[in-house]
Chain A
């Protein structure tokens, strides 16, 4: 099994501990007195998304994790799972609702996401930062009530409900922040990609 030596440790490195994939998200090099160097690492568990602190001494090794990230488009939902396809080799991957997380409500067929696999099995998907979606239902706003700091609920084509300004109407296209689930701006219909 391939491994990394402490001198290879750096931010972003994907390693495995007891069969679980981790990503080094922070690394502090310390060398007390005349002693061996210490590598204090913060590692993100790529399966549970939790963070652990571990200290390694110079010369220790960690196994390489076969973690791959690539662009995949969302194809469709199949009962409890979500099906994505690698845009390069058309390989398909199924992710559970848990793996997709909160973002599921903004998923639209054909949307490009970043998929992460560990030993060829999908473990996580990262949505684009912003997505453009059509408003399916927006209640008309009473005339005169145009204060921009007031929001009203709108329902999007994917079924998600979010808050939007009063001037948004059914059929409008809006940009949404996938991380916060908040409305960003009104925009135009995105061009079909070839």
Chain B
């Protein structure tokens, strides 16, 4: 047993304590299911005859919310094929929570409190996606023309979101959360994933999606959740189209969740997924999540 095992147990205990103090219910949902929430860039492991290992607990947690669970959280293993690096392992631990009644602001506040109480971080800095680009690169990511984006990225990629992602990863991310954690919010509407969208005071449509960075590491992703089943279905079908265009198989839609969102409906809520191994890695000062994952040496 390593000293990291103790650090891991203590961190888990603090996470559970944080949610217990706020009357969240801890739940444990299935790891294998025939349905899932397809994403353009996440590949699940197939379990022959049964479906897939979950890439995230989101589908089942939202079904519980529809069933009237109230505030819930889950700490559990998730699985993503083909992801391996300092910050990625095909098997990892996610902390995911939802609280009905929360909007994006409340979701950001709760995440900030969790970081302070659980990881001992200073209060988070809140920066809009546009501000982050403006501060680092000097221009607005929502309005800059595609050709200019291609020029600064030095890439001929035709997809605007992919270009912004490359620029975010290579030029903006390294500057984020160098002091206190930094929460980026109001992503481009085209990158809303499962978040609602809203119109910014400048007239630009943005996603009520947020991500927390600390010491250059992306730790958590959150949404003011999309509750419209029809809109969700449309986005998931689009994600499947993107998958097929990129040479990946389409994935089965979460029909049971979509039906529950229709009736009785998903309560308005904010939800966040946080990479537990990455938080542990930062709190013990390791260089990779592989280093802090129990028994992982044999499979590296």
Nearest chain A CB to B167's CB is how many angstroms away?
Answer: 9
Given known A38-B166, A38-B169, contact A31–B41 (CB-CB < 8 A): yes
**Would B165 and A33 count as touching, CB distance under 8 A?**
yes
| List of B residues within 8 angstroms of A35 by Cβ | 41, 161-162, 165-166, 168-169, 191
| List of A residues within 8 angstroms of B40 by Cβ | 34, 36
Q: Which one of B84, B169, B170 has the greatest number of beta carbons of chain A within 10 Å?
A: B169
**Would B165 and A32 count as touching, CB distance under 8 A?**
yes
| List of B residues within 8 angstroms of A29 by Cβ | 83-86, 88
The CA-CA distance from A58 to B42 in the complex, in Å, is 11
| List of A residues within 8 angstroms of B170 by Cβ | 38, 55
**Would A55 and B166 count as touching, CB distance under 8 A?**
yes
Q: Does B138 contact A (CB under 8 A)?
A: no
Q: Does A7 contact B (CB under 8 A)?
A: yes
Nearest chain A CB to B290's CB is how many angstroms away?
Answer: 12
**Would B246 and A59 count as touching, CB distance under 8 A?**
yes
The CA-CA distance from A33 to B220 in the complex, in Å, is 9
**Would B211 and A33 count as touching, CB distance under 8 A?**
yes
**Would A32 and B247 count as touching, CB distance under 8 A?**
no
| List of B residues within 8 angstroms of A28 by Cβ | 85-86
**Would A32 and B83 count as touching, CB distance under 8 A?**
no
Nearest chain B CB to A170's CB is how many angstroms away?
Answer: 52
Q: Does A175 contact B (CB under 8 A)?
A: no
Nearest chain A CB to B94's CB is how many angstroms away?
Answer: 14
**Would A32 and B169 count as touching, CB distance under 8 A?**
yes
| List of B residues within 8 angstroms of A58 by Cβ | 41, 246
Which residue on B lies nearest to A59, using beta carbons? B246
Nearest chain B CB to A60's CB is how many angstroms away?
Answer: 10
The CA-CA distance from A177 to B11 in the complex, in Å, is 50
**Would A32 and B218 count as touching, CB distance under 8 A?**
yes
Nearest chain A CB to B132's CB is how many angstroms away?
Answer: 12
Some 26 contacts from A to B, beta carbons below 8 A apart, are A7-B82, A29-B84, A29-B85, A30-B85, A30-B169, A31-B41, A31-B83, A31-B85, A31-B87, A32-B218, A33-B191, A33-B211, A34-B40, A34-B191, A34-B193, A35-B41, A35-B165, A35-B166, A36-B40, A37-B82, A37-B83, A38-B166, A38-B169, A57-B166, A59-B246, A59-B247
Residues in chain B within 8 A of chain A (CB atoms)? 39-41, 82-88, 157, 161-162, 165-166, 168-170, 173, 187, 191, 193, 211, 218, 221, 246-247
Contacts A30-B169, A59-B247 given; 12 further ones with Cβ under 8 A? A7-B82, A29-B86, A29-B88, A30-B85, A31-B83, A32-B218, A33-B191, A33-B218, A34-B39, A34-B193, A55-B166, A59-B246
Residues in chain A within 8 A of chain B (CB atoms)? 7, 28-38, 55, 57-59
